[in-house]
Amino acid sequence: MEISSHQFHLLEQLNEQRRQELFCDCNILVEGKVFRAHRNVLFASSGYFKMLLSQSSKEMTQPTTATFQAFSPDTFTVILDFVYSGKLSLTGQNVIEVMSAASYLQMTDVISVCKTFIKSSLDISEKEKDRYFSLSDKEVNSNGGEQPCLYGAGWRAESSPPHPQPNPEQGTCMRGNTWSNFNYYPASQRNTQQQLSKHEQRQDAIKKSRHPGLQQPADIPHYKSSKLEDRAAEPAGHISQPEDQVQIEAEAESPHVGFQYGQGSDVISRRSAVSQQERDSPRPSSKSKSPKADEQYPSMPSIVGVMGGWAEDDLPRMRFKCPFCTHMVKRKADLKRHLRCHTGERPYPCEACGKRFSRLDHLSSHFRTIHQACKLICRKCKRHVTELTGQVVQEGTRRYRLCNECLAEAGIDSIRIDLEAEAPLEFPADGDKDSRWHYGEDNKSDVEIVEDGSSDLVIQQVDDSEDEAEEKEVKPNIR
DNA sequence: CTGGGGAGGGGGCCC
DNA sequence: AGGGCCCCCTCCCCA
C-alpha cells in the first residue's frame, strides 16, 4: 500500500531541517552568502552537485563547501527552494538568470520550466491584442483602467517560509511535472519587486543617448549583455521616463496570461541562457547543428503588440515591446532579434573558430574580418595594401594582411600560396540554410609554414580578384 | 595608468 | 520576413 503523501512530507521535513540547519553537511557560498543544505538532496537534484559530491565523497566526515560566482544569492535561493519544495519562483525578472543557473547546475527540469515560462511570456492571446487595438489613445495613456500585472511568485523565500501549496492553482510552483498558474501582482507591488537588470539599464542608457528627450539618471551602469550571471546582483534602479511612455509600456506588460506547463518548450533553443562560460568556450571541432532561428520562435504571432499612439496618417502606430525589458521596436522581426540578447541564444556558429553569434550579419562580419582578411589594410602600419603591395598572413584560422615592407621588417619571407588550390573554405550546399562553411582542416597540411621563430605564421600572396571571388562565393549560412 | 584600435554586440532601417 | 548594412557603444588587448 502506497501512501501518496509520504514523499511530500519527506521533502517537507528535509526543508524544515534545512531551515533549522539540522544535519546540513554542505555549505554553498554564493557571492559571499552562505547557504546550508544536505548533500544527498543536492546530489539527487543537480547534475553539477552529483559530479561535485561524487568527487568529494571520500571525505564524508567533513562538510562540503561549494562556491559559486556565476549567479546571485537570490537566484540560488530560488533554485534551492525548488530543490527542497518542488516550487520554482519564477518572475519575468529572474527567469533568465534562474535558467542560466539551472544550466550551470545541470537541472534539466528547471531549464525546461524556464523555457516554457519564457515562451508563455511571449504569448498574448488574440483577444488581448484586439483589446489593444480597440483602446483609444486616451485609454492607453490613462492610469485609471486596468493595472499592469506582473508574473509573480506565490511565495517568496525572503518574505515568507516556503510552505507546500495544497492548491496548485496558487503560486508559481512546479511539483513534479505539474505546473500551476502564476499569480499577478498589481503595479503598486511591482514597484517594490521589480528590479531593473543591468541590461535593462543599458537599454535605457542607449535610449537616452539616442533620444535626448528622455530623462534618465546619469549614472547608469553599463552592462555587457552576455554576462547574465552578473545581473541579479545589481541594485534596484528606478528609471524615470516620460509619462506616456511609462504608461504604454505598463499596458504592454498586462497581457501576461496564466501559464500552463507543457505548452511546448521548443521555442527557446537548448542553448538559451547557457552560462557565459559555456558560450565563450570555442568549440572548433563542433559540427553540431545550431538550432535554426526559424525554429526558435515557431509561435511568435502573439508577440506583445503595443499601440504607441497615432501616426500622422491616422494609422495606429504599432510597436512591439520586449517582455523582459523596456525596449520597444517597430517590427516584430526586430523584437525576435532582440529577444536573443535575453535568451543568450547563439544559433550562428563560426566553424572556422567555433565562436558563436546571435546574428548572421555579425557572423558574416566576423568571418570576413577574421578569417578572410577582407580589409585591404596592413595590420601593422595601417596603410592600404593591394595584391601587389601586400600579402595575406595566416595565423591559425586567422588571416590578415601585411604590406611588403612590414613583412620584410618582420623578417618573414613571402611565400605565394594559391588560395584556389588551397581551398581553405568549403562552400556550403546551395539552398541549405543549415549548411555551414567549413574551414578546410584537410588543407592545413598543404599550407607552408614560415619559421619565424615565434608563431605559425603563414604568408599567402593573394590577389584581390581571387579574394573578392571567394568573398562572393563563400557566404556562411546564407542562402 | 592611459589612450587607441580591434572585435563583438545591439538597434535602426533599407532592400 | 529575412538579410544585410550602417552606426554606435562597450569591452579587451596592447603599446
Comparing A444 with A67, which gets the higher pLDDT?
Answer: A67
Question: Distance in angstroms, CA of A235 to C1' of C1?
Answer: 39
Alpha-carbon separation of residue A225 from A194, A229, A230, A338 (angstroms): 19, 10, 9, 11
Q: What is the pTM of this model?
A: 0.43
Q: How high is the pLDDT of residue A411?
A: 67
Quick: pLDDT tens for A176-224.
Answer: 332 332 332 333 333 333 333 334 434 443 333 333 333 333 333 333 3
Nearest residue to C9 (CA, C1')? A206
Q: How high is the pLDDT of residue A82?
A: 92
Evaluate whether A115 touches A265 at the Cβ level (below 8 Å).
yes
Instruction: Name the residue among A371, A374, A339, A372 with its Cα closest to residue A358.
Output: A339
Evaluate whether A213 touches A242 at the Cβ level (below 8 Å).
yes
Q: Footprint of strand C, using CB within 7 A? A: A 202, 205-206, 209, 222-224, 293-294, 331-333, 336, 360-361, 364, 433, 475, 478-479
Give the angle A317-A323-A326 at the CA atoms, nearest 5°: 70
Instruction: Name the residue among A46, A52, A117, A54 with its Cα closest to residue A76.
Output: A46
Measured between its terminal Cα atoms, the distance across chain A in Å is 62
Q: Of A13-17, A105-109, A384-388, A430-434, give the lowest mean pLDDT range.
A: A430-434
Nearest residue to C7 (CA, C1')? A210
Q: Enter the DSSP assignment of A292.
A: P
DSSP H helices, A307-458, are: 332-343, 360-366, 404-409, 419-422
Instruction: Name the residue among A179, A153, A155 with its Cα closest to residue A15.
Output: A155
Q: Which nucleotide is nearest to A210 (CA to C1')?
A: C8
Element containing residue A134 per DSSP (H, E): helix A126-134
Q: How high is the pLDDT of residue A211?
A: 37
Quick: pLDDT tens for A332-355.
Answer: 888 888 888 887 888 888 888 888
Instruction: Name the residue among A20, A64, A59 with its Cα closest to residue A42.
Output: A64
Evaluate whether A304 touches A328 at the Cβ level (below 8 Å).
no
Comparing A81 with A194, which gets the higher pLDDT?
Answer: A81
Please tell me whether any atom of strand B lies within 7 Å of the Cβ of A201: no
Contacts of A391 (CB under 8 A, 6+ apart): A401, A402, A404, A407, A414, A459, A460, A461, A462
Comparing A31 with A150, which gets the higher pLDDT?
Answer: A31
Quick: pLDDT tens for A124-166.
Answer: 433 444 444 333 333 333 333 333 333 333 323 333 333 333 3
Question: With pLDDT > 70 as the criterion, what percentage of chain A qualifies?
Answer: 42
Evaluate whether A454 touches A468 at the Cβ level (below 8 Å).
no
Task: List, in sequence order, every residue forming a beta bridge with A399; answer none if it has no partner.
Answer: A394
Task: List, in sequence order, every residue forming a beta bridge with A241; answer none if it has no partner.
Answer: none
Q: How high is the pLDDT of residue A25?
A: 87
